[in-house]
Every structure is written in C-alpha cells, then in structure tokens.
C-alpha cells in the first residue's frame, strides 16, 4: 500500500503578503505525513524588474522571460523567496531543504520552442526525466523539499518554469511511489464561476464545464495555465484541488477536478 504524499503549490498574492504567507506556512507545517511545497514568485520578480528598468511582459498569465529577466527571476525565486520560506518552515519545526529544478537534475527541461510567441528563457519539463529517486530519498528521511520554479536544460541554460506546471508534473511523476494529493493554493477560494464574486467558488470542475467557462471568458488569463495543469494531473490519476491557502488543513476546500 502506498504511503500518502501531499504536494502543495503556493502562489498568487499570498507570496506578497508576509502575514498571510506566515499563516499559510504555519498551516502547512502541521500537515501530517510526507509533503512537498512548490512556490511561485508572486509580484516580487515583477517589482524587482521594474526597479532595474526591465519591462515585464505577460501573455495569458505566462511570463515572457528575456535575457535580463531570467537573471531576476532566478535571484528572486531560487534565492530570496525559496530561502525565506525554507527558513520560516525550519522555525516552525520542519526539516526543510530548499531546492530549485536545477539541483541534482531535479526537473530537466527544454527551452520552449518559438511558435506564435517567443517566451524567451521559459522551460517545458521533460516529465520522464524528473529525478523522483532523489525526492523519494529525501522524503524517506522525513525532510520536506521546498522547490523554486527554476530549471535548466542540457546545455546548462537557466529556464523559468510555471510553478503550477512543476507541481502537477511532480505529482504525476511521484504517483508511482505515493498516494498523491495535490493542492494548488492562492488567495481565492477556488475556481470562481463569477470572477467578481469571491464566494462563487465551484465545488467540482468537470472538463465540459471547464470548456464552457473558458469559451465564456470566465476562466481566463492566469487561471488558464492553472486549470490546464490541474486537468493534466487529474487525467493522470492525481487528486487535485484548487483553493485558498489558509484552508489547506480543511477536509473539504476549494474546487476539485473531475475527468
């Protein structure tokens, strides 16, 4: 029988709010059993880029990462944010290990091919090459990995990878070892049926309903990659929920995904 593993991805405005982030990390630290935390970068990378005079470009919720911006996101994601979260979880009693996808070839990737849009130094994960053996070794030692969304290719180029994509890819890859629960957490209560109503979270999102909401523009921008990744994981046998970070310990929260 597989042991349980909870993967949590934290992002959105929670990353930018030190009080909310601290409260979330306290909740995360009390989760029972094996766990992994994957984090995004919030607005810190954008703010840092602006201070350095580097323009930030987004397309459908995805960042265009140029020659200068890859330096910024690496410093912010794999440096400041990763080590801040790792230090706080250590303070809450966990044994944590701050990592990025670069370390021990954890998450090999390739630079996204240019089609209609050139995303720059943005990576697509080689899912069959994820270093699951290392993660299992770490988890077996009761150590909690904290993973930043920076990867690299075979030539050693740093690549910015969507954190939701990493969380879902890791969940699918580790499914052979563990009984996986994946929670994609941010500042909203789930996928909203009315983006203007914070209390309109959908309890269950099916593929047909998702397609309808997408066509109507209800699910758009940053929610598109998040929901697409969630369905990828659900299709591969992972239990997936999107919800509010501070509800992580509740038995039922957010929007569950059904194939």
Average pLDDT, integer, range 92-109:
98
pLDDT tens sequence across 41-83: 878 888 888 888 887 777 766 778 989 999 999 999 999 999 9
pLDDT value, residue 61: 62
pLDDT value, residue 60: 67
pTM over 0.85: yes
Confidence of residue 118 (pLDDT cuts 50, 70, 90): confident
Average pLDDT, integer, range 182-189:
94
pLDDT value, residue 66: 86
pLDDT value, residue 90: 98
pLDDT value, residue 85: 97
CB 70 within 8 A of CB 152: no
Average pLDDT, integer, range 192-202:
92
Could you tell me which residues come within 8 angstroms of residue 154 by beta carbon, excluding any fewer than 6 positions away?
108, 110
| Residue 8 predicted with pLDDT over 90 | yes
For the stretch 202-205, contacts whose Cβ atoms lie closer than 8 Å and that sit 24 or more positions apart, written own/partner, are: 202/255, 203/255, 203/256, 204/255, 204/256, 204/257, 204/258, 205/255, 205/256, 205/257, 205/258
pLDDT: is 12 or 176 the higher one?
176
CB 240 within 8 A of CB 233: yes
Mean pLDDT (the chain, rounded): 93
Average pLDDT, integer, range 12-19:
90
pLDDT tens sequence across 217-233: 999 887 888 899 999 99
Percent of the chain with pLDDT over 90: 79
pLDDT value, residue 208: 93
| Residue 181 predicted with pLDDT over 80 | yes
> What are the CA-CA distances from residue 119 to residues 33, 129, 155, 156 (Å)?
38, 22, 18, 18
pLDDT value, residue 106: 98
Query: CA neighbours within 13 Å on the CB side: how many for 236?
Result: 18
> What are the CA-CA distances from residue 54 to residues 41, 186, 233 (Å)?
16, 26, 34
pLDDT value, residue 189: 93
Average pLDDT, integer, range 150-163:
96
């Amino acid at each position: 029988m597989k042991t349980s593993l909870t993967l949590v991805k934290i992002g959105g405005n929670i990353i930018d709010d030190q009080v909310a982030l601290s409260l979330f990390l306290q909740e995360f630290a009390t989760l029972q059993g094996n766990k992994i935390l994957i984090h995004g970068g919030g607005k810190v990378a954008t703010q840092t880029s602006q201070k350095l005079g580097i323009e930030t470009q987004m397309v459908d919720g995805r960042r265009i990462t140029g020659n200068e911006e890859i330096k910024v996101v690496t410093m912010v994601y794999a440096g400041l944010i990763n080590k801040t979260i790792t230090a706080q979880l250590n303070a809450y009693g966990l044994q944590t290990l701050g990592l990025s996808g670069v370390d021990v070839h954890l998450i090999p990737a390739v630079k996204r091919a240019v089609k209609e849009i050139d995303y720059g130094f943005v990576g697509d994960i080689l899912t069959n090459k994820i270093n699951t053996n290392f993660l299992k070794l770490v988890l077996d030692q009761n150590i909690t990995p904290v993973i930043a969304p920076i990867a690299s290719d075979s030539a050693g180029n740093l690549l910015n990878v969507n954190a939701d994509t990493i969380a879902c890819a890791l969940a699918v890859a580790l499914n052979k070892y563990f009984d996986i629960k994946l929670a994609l957490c941010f500042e909203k209560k789930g996928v909203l049926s009315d983006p203007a109503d914070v209390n309109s979270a959908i309890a269950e999102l099916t593929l047909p309903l998702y397609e309808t909401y997408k066509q109507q523009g209800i699910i758009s921008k940053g929610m598109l990659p998040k929901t697409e990744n969630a369905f990828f994981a659900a299709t591969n046998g992972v239990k997936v929920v999107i919800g509010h970070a501070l509800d992580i310990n509740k038995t039922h929260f957010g929007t569950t995904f059904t194939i």
